[in-house]
A and B are shown apart, each in its own frame.
Chain A
Amino acid sequence: QKEVEQNSGPLSVPEGAIASLNCTYSDRGSQSFFWYRQYSGKSPELIMFIYSNGDKEDGRFTAQLNKASQYVSLLIRDSQPSDSATYLCAVEMDSSYKLIFGSGTRLLVRP
């Protein structure tokens, strides 16, 4: 059973702080990794994807991938109250385009 694990949270950070969200996956052969943000009652929206080991930055967001440790993380700099949402980690299965989603981490940014 291929799995994607996330801490459900909530992770509470003050406005302006760095929020660090973590995700581990079980399939060592996975190649593509995605971070989605989901507001309550809405569908997920893509924040960023990462394929290679190391860091990938996009504005206030940085995705980090370590395939040896089967670990992917998302850092949000200068967190804003509007960043309060559930963050879903998704891993592509077997290069099939199918995604396995983690259960999500709820982030609360306190004003």
Chain B
Amino acid sequence: GAVVSQHPSWVICKSGTSVKIECRSLDFQATTMFWYRQFPKQSLMLMATSNEGSKATYEQGVEKDKFLINHASLTLSTLTVTSAHPEDSSFYICSGLAGGGNEQFFGPGTRLTVL
């Protein structure tokens, strides 16, 4: 099956700092990648859709200037949480969509804790 990795798997940072999370498709080219956020005991909420070489599309209520997404290649997308605050603490999960299908392959997630 298709494999997606995320780095780091967990991160703790101070309030006001920025954190970058990488999402890589290891054995397929992901034409589209999605970024989700999951708070404790809640479901996954789609934050944005990222297509290689173009600007990300953000869901309603997600601040594009706070959550910077770059999809520079068919195997790498990054999410940067800028000026992180404690309320940004969450489980961030990416997924990749291989060309020709609609199955999303999920990364293992990154747990962000902002102190």
For A88, give its contact among B34, B43, B104, B108 (CB under 8 Å).
B43
Interface positions, chain B 46-65, Cβ under 8 Å from A, are 46, 49
**A42 at interface, CB cutoff 8 A:** yes
User: Closest chain B residue to A102 by CB distance?
Assistant: B43
Picked from A41, A97, A102, A103, the residue with its CB within 8 Å of the CB of B104 is: A97
Given A32-B102, A43-B93, A92-B102, decide whether A98 and B46 contact each other with a Cβ distance below 8 A. yes
Q: What is the CA–CA distance of A49 and B101 in the complex, to the nearest angstrom?
A: 12
22 contacts between A and B (CB under 8 A): A34-B103, A42-B108, A42-B109, A43-B107, A43-B108, A43-B109, A44-B44, A46-B106, A49-B103, A88-B43, A92-B102, A97-B34, A97-B97, A98-B34, A98-B49, A99-B34, A99-B44, A99-B104, A101-B43, A101-B44, A102-B43, A103-B42
Chain B residues with a Cβ under 8 A of chain A: 32, 34, 42-46, 49, 93, 97, 102-104, 106-109, 111
**What is the bound-complex CA distance between A108 and B34, given in angstroms?**
30
Q: Give the interface of A toward B (CB within 8 A).
A: 32, 34, 41-46, 49, 88, 92, 97-104
Q: In the bound complex, what is the Cα–Cα distance between A34 and B102 (angstroms)? A: 10
6 pairs of A and B residues whose beta carbons are closest in the complex: A43-B109, A101-B43, A103-B43, A43-B106, A101-B44, A43-B93
User: How many CB-defined contacts (below 8 Å) exist between A and B?
Assistant: 42
B102 contacts A97, C-beta separation under 8 Å: yes
Instruction: State how many angstroms separate the Cβ of B34 from the closest Cβ of chain A.
Output: 7
Q: Given A44-B44, A46-B104, output 6 extra A-B contacts at Cβ < 8 Å.
A: A43-B109, A92-B102, A98-B34, A100-B46, A102-B43, A103-B42
In the assembled complex, the CB of A38 is this many whole angstroms from the nearest CB of chain B, namely 9
Q: For residue B104, which residues in chain A have a CB less than 8 angstroms away from its CB?
A: 46, 97, 99
Residues of A within 8 A of B32 (CB): 97
The residue among A92, A102, A104 with the most chain B CB atoms within 10 A of its own CB is A104
B34 CB contacts on chain A under 8 angstroms: 97-99
